[in-house]
Structure 1
Amino acid sequence: MTDDVGSSSDGARPRRRRLRWVLGLVVALAVAPMLGAAVHVGVGSWGGAYDVEGVPERAVGMVLGAKAGPNGPSDFLAARLEVARRLYRQGKISAILVSGDGRERPSSETAAMRDYLVERGIPDEHIVEDPAGFDTYDSCVRAHEVYGVRELILVTQDYHLGRALTICRAAGMDAVGVGDTSMFGRYPLNWIKGWLREWPANVKMEWDLLTARPPQSDPFDGALLEAVGDR
């Protein structure tokens, strides 16, 4: 009886070791791409983050979309728009591109963004909507290809800024950015969730850049260049 127990125990040890190796391999395969993408974001966005006062002037500021509802932008999106409003008032930018999901569901992100800015004194003719900025990659590529942007100031939350800068620079633009940090104090849990989402989102970025995924294709739109020239 003792020998049978010993044999069973001896056989279980190699199985546990194999299981640990398999689990370790699975974790490594999951973590390695995220670490590699995070390094890419750090290098790709290097030197691009500023505050409102220190950011160099650019003709265009692009506000990346976020959740909006029937009553207007979410608090996170409103914070981004406030940064853009300050940039415009300080003469850092001449026009604002609001990029997001413009489909009615029940409210358009870009329409809500435009309304918010106009209600707070930004001239309507200096705001242009990109209603097909369905994600960060789409917004950056379309800013360059559809709206003719060559340089810009990106506006989003701080934890999102590195990835956005990396994509916009890869798309061929001279991009710098200002990241909002005000929401961390108000919604720390939501902020942490947003920061955590960046890790898998960075991996998606790598795939999009590697495959040169085309966003929605539209004819060239000169409205933004006209808005810049009007100021």
Structure 2
Amino acid sequence: MPDRRLLTAAGTLALLGALPVAASAARVRWLSAGRTHLPQDVPHRGVGMVLGARAYPTFPSTFLAARLDVAVELYARGKINAVLVTGDGLPRSFDEPKVMKDYLVAHGVPATAVFEDGAGFDTYDSCIRARDTFGLTELTVISQDYHLPRIIAICRELDIDAVGVPDRTIRRRRGPKWVRGLLREQLANLKMEWDLFTRRRPQRDDPLDPTLRDHSLRG
């Protein structure tokens, strides 16, 4: 029989490990409460930001295409004037933003309304660069439903007025992968807390370029 003291210690450690995860998840829910909308009822924002995901040399993954489809719908409905596609622009990831832009243009969004950020290496980088590199103070953010609350939470902590429109199709189409993504989010919340606490600079810190902000205001 296992030593009762060892079992008690293991249970205590598991509980202590679970508490920060639960606390961070609760804070994300609080910060994002009431800010997730359907495409037809989301308030207008000048810019919609689509977060990157796996891409292939000439086409997006299923997860990424689902996010982009939401952006296409929002643009067609007049809910956004421009789209910021943000992700890893390095060859190792097949230049996610370029793949994203090509997809949007092929589905009816004018090329002049799509702006690329190739240094959105993670969610925090994408959000802080939206503020500091592109000069944005409000956004509609677009991703899968399990990811969206964390994006909104980060934006709000960075003083960006963010609302979100989720993709909910992946839950139905790719259930097991959706569940894995949901579980990974719990640990990603802890990384978010560290990034916000340290106020770390993005991995690439470019000067302000107001082109996207000014274009969205004219659109």
| TM-score range relative to shorter protein | over 0.9
Aligned to 1:8: none
Tell me how far apart the structure 2 counterparts of residues 143 and 121 of structure 1 sit (CA, whole Å): 24
**Structure with max Cα Rg:** 1
Question: SS of the counterpart of 2:191?
Answer: helix
Tell me how far apart the structure 1 counterparts of residues 198 and 16 of structure 2 sit (CA, whole Å): 21
Offset at residue 82 of structure 1 (A): 0.6
Tell me how far apart the structure 2 counterparts of residues 208 and 229 of structure 1 sit (CA, whole Å): 30
- 1:224 aligned to 195, 208, 212, which one? 212
Residue identity matched to 2:24: A
Whether contact under 8 Å (2:55, 2:93) holds in the other structure is no
TM-score by length of structure 1 reads: 0.91
Aligned to 1:112: 99
Aligned to 2:177: 190
Whether contact under 8 Å (1:48, 1:177) holds in the other structure is yes
Residue identity matched to 2:3: R
Gaps of 5+ in 1: 1-11
Aligned to 1:9: none
Aligned residues, how many?
Answer: 218
Percentage of matched positions with identical amino acids: 48
Tell me how far apart the structure 1 counterparts of residues 84 and 113 of structure 2 sit (CA, whole Å): 9
Gaps of 5+ in 2: none
Offset at residue 185 of structure 1 (A): 1.2
Aligned to 1:60: 47
Question: SS of the counterpart of 2:33?
Answer: coil
TM-score by length of structure 2 reads: 0.96
Tell me how far apart the structure 1 counterparts of residues 212 and 30 of structure 2 sit (CA, whole Å): 29
2:34 is the alignment partner of 1:28? no
Aligned to 1:163: 150
- 1:139 aligned to 103, 117, 126, which one? 126
Alpha-carbon RMSD across the aligned residues, in angstroms, is 1.3
2:72 is the alignment partner of 1:85? yes
Aligned to 2:164: 177
Whether contact under 8 Å (2:54, 2:93) holds in the other structure is no
